[in-house]
A = this chain, B = another copy of it.
Amino acid sequence: MAKNVFYAQSGGVTAVINASACGLIEAARANKQFGKVYAGKNGILGALKEELIDTSKESKSAISGLRYTPSGAFGSCRYKLQSPAQNQAEYQRLIDVFKAHKIGYFFYNGGGDSQDTANKVSQFSQAVNYPITCIGVPKTVDNDLPLTDCCPGFGSVAKYVAVSTREAGLDVASMSESSTKVFVLEVMGRHAGWIAAAAGLAKDEKNDPPHLILFPEVAFDKKKFLAKVAATVKRVGFCVIVASEGAQYADGSFVADAGLKDAFGHTQLGGVAPMLVDMIKTTHGYKCHWAVADYLQRAARHIASATDVEQAYAMGKAALELAAAGKNAVMPTIVRAKTKTYRWSVGEAPLAKVANVEKKLPRGYITADGYGITNKGRQYLAPLIVGEDYPPYKNGLPQYVKLKNILVEKKLTRFRL
């Protein structure tokens, strides 16, 4: 009898992670080699707690609606399994739950940590003689997975940031004569500047926004930065800055951690944007505005990149196909063709090589002065935001699907996490 499938979403969600779920579930429904697809309620926690969502209870249209529904439809979690050596009980529990529910396939949709976990589950399951086919499905707005040209989720954040920078830039431009001279947009990226770099796509001509991008990869030099801001205001009339939340000084301390205290002496939540604005106001006296996109950027399915949606769907589908072909401990990847016009195909990479490797923003993508992106960077980023893929609307609002998320009956006793 066909083994069932377990699928889990992991870590920070994206505008298109459900598109991967959609690709995977639709492919599984069409292939008799696979039984039911169970999804972990809140990711891997669902497996540990034996909270398995029976996706077979969802209609065809609900599943196809996942393609245009942002965030994690089954719930995700920030929960990293330790190694089997450190916490064998958790791995054993996974195997117990998989056994109890006749699960033979584990698809883990996440970033580097998740690929590592999937790899370990594969190894452990073989060691205990209940071999599970473990396939990773790449996902992360951070775009930091190796061996894949890009990561599903990134293209849509990139598009959101580029579009928002262009729009806010026009706003500042039209007001700068008598009002706001400086605008700072804070975007995600604690360790890598991929997302901030995408703002550079908004710039067509020299004086277009963004004028300054702050990357975590480039040490923040306050004096140089403030001089650049003043020079830009003088030259262009205004200055638009896009800052990674992870912008940091040469000593590794975050710009956002400025030691702010409230009236009671509590350390105050930072935010790199208000910190930069404070510096600029204090030094130059310009009227400033700032925005922090936070979750809006990674949830913004309404402005998702069609390329990203297509790739996310393809990764889900390809993951299932890899399993069907008897592969194990691999992850489908996006392979960029060496053609002049952008083309991509699906490849694969062993989980062992994906796990625990962080792909950094190449220095060659950042301009020599450290405040912009090079043509090389632009060539890499530009195709990833191409195409619009609008969700359906009703009464002016996107009609994202809500699943029933019916749990499978439990067969085991409670597991203490």
Contact = CB atoms under 8 A, between A and B. Distances in A.
Contact of A175 (B12, B183, B291): B12
A382 interface: yes
A334 interface: no
Nearest to A393: B388
A79 B178 contact: yes
A164 B295 CA distance: 9
Interface in A186-235: 201-202
Contacts of A395: 382, 385-386
A72 interface: yes
A320 to B, nearest CB: 22
Number of copies: 2
A291 B294 contact: yes
A290 interface: yes
A172 to B, nearest CB: 7
- Chain B CB within 10 A, most for which of A259, A266, A271, A382: A271
Given A170-B299, A266-B278, A387-B396, A78 B178 contact: yes
B296 A293 contact: yes
Nearest to A293: B291
A167 B302 contact: yes
A171 B292 contact: no
B263 A268 contact: no
A48 to B, nearest CB: 11
A299 B167 CA distance: 5
Contacts of A171: 13, 70-71, 295, 298-299
Given A174-B73, A262-B260, A289 B294 contact: yes
Interface residues of A, number: 82
Interface in A47-99: 69-79
A19 to B, nearest CB: 14
Contact of A291 (B202, B259, B295): B295
A24 interface: no
Contacts of A109: none
Given A163-B398, A268-B260, A396-B159, A42 B178 contact: yes
Contact of A183 (B9, B79, B168, B295): B295
B302 A175 contact: no
A250 interface: no
Contact of A277 (B9, B69, B269, B277): B269
A70 B302 contact: no
A117 interface: no
A168 B293 CA distance: 10
A388 B390 contact: yes
A308 B305 CA distance: 25
A374 B394 CA distance: 20
A294 B168 CA distance: 9
Interface in A366-382: 382
Interface in A129-180: 159, 162-164, 166-168, 170-175, 177-179
B77 A178 contact: yes
Contacts of A100: none
A301 interface: yes
B177 A42 contact: yes
A87 to B, nearest CB: 16
27 contacts: A12-B175, A15-B167, A42-B177, A45-B177, A71-B173, A72-B175, A74-B174, A75-B174, A76-B174, A77-B178, A79-B178, A163-B302, A163-B397, A166-B400, A167-B299, A167-B301, A168-B296, A183-B295, A258-B263, A259-B262, A261-B261, A268-B278, A269-B277, A382-B395, A385-B397, A388-B390, A388-B396
Interface of A: 9, 12-13, 15, 42-43, 45, 69-79, 159, 162-164, 166-168, 170-175, 177-179, 183, 185, 201-202, 258-263, 266, 268-269, 271, 273-274, 277-278, 281-282, 289-296, 298-303, 305, 307, 382, 385-388, 390, 393, 395-398, 400
